[in-house]
Copies of this chain bind each other. A is one copy, B any other.
């Protein structure tokens, strides 16, 4: 018999724990976080509670203090955590740290593991990932990298360039920076892991984007630093490959978290509508409200099924790129539609932070852009499809 959609007992127990954490700890702290921003003090408070309740980092291997769960299990748990915009942060599975943990665990040197991975896994510090650059630099097209690394005769590297929209940069302890070069012929790209207080790293202004719940904002960073060879992450010249290693699962963890947020927005809107009279009926008996509710149910179910399927492929290493691109495109659009309908169903307060939906609406928008804009994934999906289908002819 093909297919099994059963949740393992372990994941069911974890899910209950995370649900309790979200309902009892994260949600009660949300309004203050929305009004005053998400700061490290709040992060530490949330994370202490998650550790106390033994729902820490399900995605991390046990040797790093995490749950050691499979990626399909993680799909269930990060959705659950994502119901609050503070939930993934509480269990140390928020972007960008979650992707950095994954990457460091794959390629960090023993020194880098001790210095960066261990304290990041424990929640002692935060980190950032410096890839995006102002136009005409690297964004959707990574080949446009303008930040460069130049090897010097003494074995050190000179890294110079400007990054922007670097999430979490303000207050991060260290940074993984992507730079062009590293091969003998200066092609390729190289990742470095750098302490943020390295001389020559300059933290610039926060972009005033409409989302507000990422610790450390989205900042400009200028680099003009000289660092030793132990700052290289992995091998010089292999940066593009490592970026893919980071991105395929990181895209899906975004999908997991935002699916939870969209589910929450939907539930808030439905609960609110359920108690409301309008034009002589309960609002939830009016056909156009029912359409909004049902379309959300359908989009959420389709997104969840596709996500589970894609997580299973990534876990197996089987067409992982195609599966994660398909999921990213569909789920970023479907969750966007769900939250938009929730706003509409909630009416006047739908765009407010008080009802939470408004905050999710603003914060989720960039999800269709970062980690590969919808259009970039479509280009890549179309090319794969043409190769697969036309070859088949």
Chain A positions within 8 Å of B, measured between CB atoms, are: 1-8, 11, 34-35, 70, 72-73, 75-76, 132, 135-136, 139-141, 143-144, 164-165, 207-211, 266-267, 270-279, 284, 286-291, 293-299, 301-306, 308-309, 311-313, 323, 326, 329-330, 343-344, 347-354, 358-359, 361-362, 365-366, 368-370, 373-375, 377-379, 381-386, 389-390, 392-393
Contact A5 B8, beta carbon cutoff 8 Å: no
**6 further contact pairs, Cβ within 8 A, besides A141-B278, A165-B348, A209-B353:** A144-B278, A267-B392, A290-B382, A298-B381, A299-B330, A301-B323
Given A288-B375, A294-B378: A274 in contact with B386 (beta carbons within 8 A): yes
Residue contact A5 to B3, C-beta cutoff 8 Å: yes
Contact present for B291 and A287 (CB under 8 Å): yes
Contact of A278 with B140 in the complex, beta carbons under 8 Å: yes
Instruction: Tell me which of A35, A275, A277, A381 has the highest count of chain B C-beta atoms within 10 A of its own C-beta.
Output: A381
A34 near B305 with CB under 8 A, answer: no
Decide: A381 near B294, CB < 8 A? Known: A302-B302, A305-B306.
Answer: yes
Interface of A is mostly: helix
Q: Which residues of B contact A135 (CB under 8 A)?
A: 272, 275-276, 347
Measured CA separation A238–B74 after assembly (Å): 45
> How far is A290 from B267 in the complex, measured between Cα atoms in Å?
25
Q: What's the nearest-Cβ distance from chain B to residue A263, in Å?
A: 10
Name the B residues within 8 Å of A291 (CB-CB).
Answer: 287-288, 291, 375, 378, 382
Q: How far is the CA of A247 from the CA of B351 in the complex (A)?
A: 22
A32 shortest CB reach to chain B, Å: 12
| Least CB separation from A279: chain B residue | B141
Q: Give Cα distance in the complex from A274 to B270, angstroms.
A: 30
- Are the CB atoms of B378 and A295 closer together than 8 Å? yes
Which residues of the other chain, B, contact A276 by a CB distance below 8 angstroms?
A: 135-136
Is A382 a contact of B284 with CB atoms below 8 Å? yes
Which chain B positions have C-beta within 8 A of A35? 208
Asked if A290 and B348 make an inter-chain contact with CB atoms under 8 angstroms apart, the answer reads: no
Q: Could you tell me the distance between the alpha carbons of A319 and B203 in the complex, rounded to whole angstroms?
A: 49
Q: Check B7–A289 contact: CB distance below 8 A.
A: no
- Which chain B positions have C-beta within 8 A of A6? 2-3
For residue A274, which residues in chain B have a CB less than 8 angstroms away from its CB? Answer: 386, 389-390, 393
CA distance A210 to B348 in the complex (A): 12
A93, B139: Cα distance in complex, Å: 40
Query: Given the complex, which residues of B lie within 8 Å of A211, measured CB to CB?
Result: 351
A212 to chain B, nearest CB (A): 9
Report how far A386 CA is from B286 CA in the complex, Å.
12
Residue of B nearest to A73 (CB): B2
Residues of B close to A144: CB separation below 8 A:
277-278
A-B contact pairs, 26 of them (CB 8 A): A1-B72, A2-B73, A34-B208, A141-B279, A144-B277, A210-B352, A274-B389, A284-B383, A286-B287, A288-B291, A288-B378, A288-B379, A294-B329, A294-B382, A294-B385, A297-B381, A298-B381, A301-B323, A301-B326, A302-B303, A302-B326, A305-B308, A344-B369, A344-B375, A348-B370, A350-B366
